Amino acid sequence: MNTKFLSLLLIVGLMNFYSCKKNNEQEQPGNPPVATGSTKFKFYLYTTQTFSESNLVNFRMYIRNGQNILVDSSLITMRVKDIPNADNKLLFVRSIPGGYQENFKVGFVYTIENVGISWYFDSCMAGVEEKTIDFNFR
């Protein structure tokens, strides 16, 4: 009975040792920290110019991490002349769960009718709790 108790104590001790070692390995130099919390992205869209064009423009939200496109969603289609000014910015919010080690590429991809496609991108470090993407359309 004493041998069984010692064996059980040894097994529990080894399990505790190896389970704690996992966190220590991540903290060693050369290993990037693992982001555990989510990242909230705030996308602001506005313009400081006056446009008279009536062409349609479609804005898409874009979030990429490494080689993975996490979000590529159509946000809004409007006439270029109807893009709001800085006092009436449009706000779109999107949260991404944590666990990513690579930085994010975030921004807007937009298509202007009869003109073409363009974009506005910014970067965001992995593990950041909140990132604001402030796009002044020109």
pLDDT tens string for the chain (138 positions)? 667 655 655 565 556 555 544 444 444 555 555 556 899 999 999 999 999 989 999 999 999 998 999 999 999 999 999 999 999 999 999 999 988 889 999 999 999 999 999 999 999 999 999 999 999 999
Same structural domain, 67 and 116: yes
Same structural domain, 24 and 57: no
Cα separation, 56 vs 110, in Å, equals 10
Same structural domain, 72 and 20: no
Same structural domain, 10 and 73: no
Same structural domain, 89 and 24: no
Give the number of other CB atoms < 10 A from CB of residue 31: 11
- Stated pTM of the model: 0.71
Domain that holds residue 8: 1-31
Two tokens, residue 59: 């804005």
Same structural domain, 54 and 24: no
Same structural domain, 24 and 53: no
Kind plus residue range of the DSSP H or E element containing 98: none
Q: Are 49 and 138 in contact (CB under 8 A)?
A: yes
Total domains in the chain come to 2
